[in-house]
Structures are given as C-alpha cells and as structure tokens.
Amino acid sequence: MRFKTLFTFACCFLGLLLVPGEMDAGQQPNSGGERGFPQPAPERDVTVAAIPGVIAAGAKWKLVWQGSDNADGIVGTKDGGLLFAQEQPSTVGRVDKNGKFSIFVKDTHGTGALGIDYKGRLVGAERTCSDPGGHPAQCHEPAELVILSPVRQVLASKFGDKTFWRMGEVALDSKGGAYFCDDAGTYFVNAAGNVSLVADKQVRTNGMILSRDEKILYITNGKTLVALDIQSDGTTKNQREFAKLEAGGNGDGMTIDSEGRLYVTSGDPGIQVFSREGKYLGIIPLPRSASSVAFSGPNKKVLYAKGAGMKGPDGKEYRTPDGVRNNAKAIYKIDMIAQGYLGRPK
C-alpha cells in the first residue's frame, strides 16, 4: 500500500492564481532551518535575434499560462496543446491549443517530469515528498517511474536493492525503454523492466533528450552537455563532452528539432541552441528564467518554454511571505522557422 504524505495535503489546496501573501499547495514553509527561498526575478522585456533556420529576428513570446502551483517537464501533444507536471498539488495540467487550462491527471504522487511513449501513454517521474521545500525525513513513499495514463503502471522502482530519490527528467525511446535520473545517477529501464546505470552522480543530469535516430543520449551536466552512444540493448558507452553552454547558466530541460539541433534551457540566459555537431548557434531569451522547453502546435512549428515566476491579479509580481517557497511558473510560446522533430512527442 502506498503511503500518502505531503502531497495528499497539497492536492486539497490547488490554486492557480492567488493574491500575494496567500499560501497554497505550490508553496512550502521553510521548516528546514535557516535556508531561505529567494523570489524569482521579475518578468523582463527581451529582444529575439535571428538564428538562421531557427527563428526570425523580432519574434515575440506570448504568455500562455501562469500559476502558483508549478509547471515542469512540459511535453507537446498531437492536438497542438501542452502537458506539464505540477509537483506540489500532485497533478498534470493541460493547456489546449487555444490556451484553455484543465487538469489532465490527478493524484500523481508529486510527478515532476513527463514523457509520452510510443503507444501514446503518459509517463511520469513520481517524486513523492522529496521536494527540497518539503520534509524529506518524513518520506515513506519511494520515487518511481510510472505510466500515469490511461492506467497507472510502475515501470521502475529500484536499481538493485536501492530505491530512487527525487527523479529529475525522462526521455523515452521507440522500443518501450526509458532513460531517467535521480540525485544518484542516470538510468535506463528496458521494456522488460530491467534497470541499468547510464551515468553516475558525477554527471549532474538535469535534462536529457534522444537524438532523432535514438543512437545518442544527450544529458546536461551543469555548464556542459554530455553525449553517450546508445547500444542495441539501450545501454550506453563512449561518454564525452558534446558542447559548452556559451551564454552561461546551467543546463536544464531540452528538446530537439527536425534537423537535430538541440534547444537547452539555461536559467536566466534563456534557451541556447546547438547544431547536431555541437556548435553553439545562438540564444533565444525568455522573459523569465527558463527551465523546460518543448515543440508543439501545427506541424511542431511553435516552441513552448517555462519560466520561473508570474504576475498576480493586480499585475504585480507574485510574491510569497518570507520563508515560504515561491513555485509560481509561467509558460510562453513563440513561432519558429525550425520545426520540432516529428518522430516522437519529445
């Protein structure tokens, strides 16, 4: 039997837009001692420069959604919409192509990363109560990689005799396998449920994506990108540095386009773009600190990105009281010249 923890409480207080000063499921009190929770930087005006074949000069971001209950692991859907994980209220949110928001899945055990597999099933990395703003010592429910929809099914719950802890990202192949990570390493689980270690904790994985032919796994490692060759059984070899984040920041969520170019979120600098050979091509600045990105829309010609923070109903930056974590997020979209890779949802 799975034990309900902090997120059982959190699910009862879903609140998308709050007046400043109120606390909802997306914020936790800082009960962990003296560590504070800094507020996100305010929204800023940005100017997009041209990147040949990628984006036109002067392209404009449009706000699609904002809320106080987090949004992570965004993934585009066939109808041009978007799914995203809301870890603290333990839900998966959905925004359709017209910007209408709804709850897609409830009771996700703190899922914080998403993917859609080759059968169209929604896969999530359940973080349970391992969020840094919560109470890790009180966790009784281990993190698991699961199918969330249409029917919940556990794909991976242990590596050897060790349970997972705070899963970070998911990348799904076309054979039923999945790459995922936690604080201790990066793993692969095949369709039979066998789990192997891909990279240890020396590689600080926070984002990952497969090449178009699924022969290379790209993972972020702080200020660099790492590439690993994928073998026929899904395991990897030949780990190497693929690129450096030329514009600064640390790598987070990634996506890939039809030409094999990589789009890497890197916090305040924005979304850094690299050729399939690892050459830095330029940056797409976001109005807020960027950490997740995905193609969607008609023919995958729209790029969505998630940034930290939001504005409240009064038009001012949403702020939480001192000592309370601010998990507010905003999702934007922008028209592209480049086309997202059509062979997989992510």
Separation between Cα atoms, residue 112 and residue 143, nearest integer Å = 11
What is the pLDDT at residue 16?
Answer: 37
Cβ atoms of residues 80 and 97 within 8 Å: yes
> Tens digit of pLDDT per residue, the chain (346 long)?
443 333 333 333 333 333 333 334 444 444 333 456 899 999 999 999 999 999 999 999 999 999 998 999 999 998 899 999 998 889 999 999 999 999 999 999 889 999 999 999 999 999 876 454 555 555 667 899 999 999 999 999 999 999 998 888 999 999 999 999 988 899 999 999 999 999 877 788 889 999 999 999 999 999 999 999 999 999 999 999 999 999 999 999 999 999 999 999 999 999 999 999 999 999 999 999 999 999 998 799 999 999 999 999 999 999 998 888 899 999 999 999 999 999 999 9
Cα–Cα distance measured from residue 57 to residue 79, given in angstroms and rounded to the nearest whole number: 27
- Cβ neighbours, 10 Å, residue 55: 21
**Of the candidates 137, 130, 138, which has an alpha carbon nearest to the alpha carbon of residue 164?**
130
Q: Is 285 helix (H, G, I), strand (E, B) or coil?
A: coil
Tell me the C-alpha to C-alpha distance, in Å, between residue 290 and each of 132, 242, 268, 329.
19, 21, 6, 10
Fold classification of 6-22+47-335 is Neuraminidase (2.120.10)
For residues 100 and 60, is the Cβ–Cβ distance under 8 A?
no
Say how many C-beta atoms besides its own lie within 10 A of residue 33's C-beta. Answer: 6
Tokens of 331: 């999702």
CA distance 8 to 4: 6
Strands 236-244 and 144-149: unpaired
| pLDDT of res. 319 | 95
The values of phi and psi at residue 25, to 5°, are: -60, -25
Distance of alpha carbon 8 from alpha carbon 5, whole angstroms: 6
The string of DSSP codes covering 184-217 is: TEEEEE-TT--EEEEEETTS----EEE-TTSSEE
* Cα gap 289→274, rounded to integer Å: 19
Q: Cα angle at 51 between 45 and 53, to 5 degrees?
A: 135
Task: Report residue 299: phi and psi, to 5°.
Answer: 60, 25
Which pair of tokens denotes residue 129? Answer: 């109560």
pTM exceeding 0.75: yes
Domain boundaries, the chain: 6-22+47-335
